[in-house]
Structure 1
Amino acid sequence: MTLLDAGEYIGALPEKEHDTPEWRAAMEALLLVVKRGGPALFARIRITRPLNQYYVPELNPKGKEPYWGRRKLKRDQ
């Protein structure tokens, strides 16, 4: 995705969503990069935050198992 693509995407948003604080911050960061040569990473971060604002990761209560399995204690043998 280029900076032009990001600007066109933000411009095509509905007015209600376009005026949210998250998208306003993304537009400011994009303009900072384009006009003043700021770091492009700032614009990328500010654009991905509102894109992923409704993403909720699935909760895994068990957690990640290590590849070697659980360690067995001597008292449990």
Structure 2
Amino acid sequence: MLKGWLRKFDEAIEAPDGTQLNTLREAVAYLAETVPKSERDMPAVTTAAEILTYAAERGIAWMFLARMAVLKALHRHEVLQFNPDAKEHHWGKRKLKRDQ
């Protein structure tokens, strides 16, 4: 098992430009190269750097959080849209046998 910055993600992260990030070292180097200096203080970027460091120094338990933080930092400008036409959920609409 690899340790430190050579530790691999369970599943490679695909960056918006198509680059595959397999290890912690690749992820932190990619963020350092691609994030403009004016955006390095953004919470998503600083959190990703901090959690990548934790994953390298502390242990394998941090790898999942590191992957999520890198994805959040890579997609920091994307806004999630609410879709009002989405399918209705069935929650709370159970049918009992007596009501049929």
Common fold, TM-score beyond 0.5?
yes
1:57 Cα deviation after fit: 4.8
Residue 34 of structure 1 is matched in structure 2 by 56
Higher gyration radius (CA): 1
Residue 7 of structure 1 is matched in structure 2 by 28
Corresponding letter in the other structure for 1:24? T
1:62 Cα deviation after fit: 3.0
Whether contact under 8 Å (2:51, 2:62) holds in the other structure is no
Aligned residues: 66
CA distance in 2, matches of 1:20, 1:54: 11
Identity, % of aligned pairs? 32
Residue 46 of structure 1 is matched in structure 2 by 69
The structure with the greater share of residues assigned to helix is 1
TM-score by length of 1: 0.66
The structure with the greater share of residues assigned to strand is 2
- 1:47-72 C-alpha deviation (Å, 9 max, x unpaired): 1112223223565443249xxxxxxx
Using a 3 Å threshold, how does the CA distance of structure 1 residues 43 and 58 change in structure 2: closer, same or farther?
Answer: same
Structure 1 stretches of 5 or more lacking a match?
66-77
TM-score by length of 2: 0.54
1:16 Cα deviation after fit: 0.8
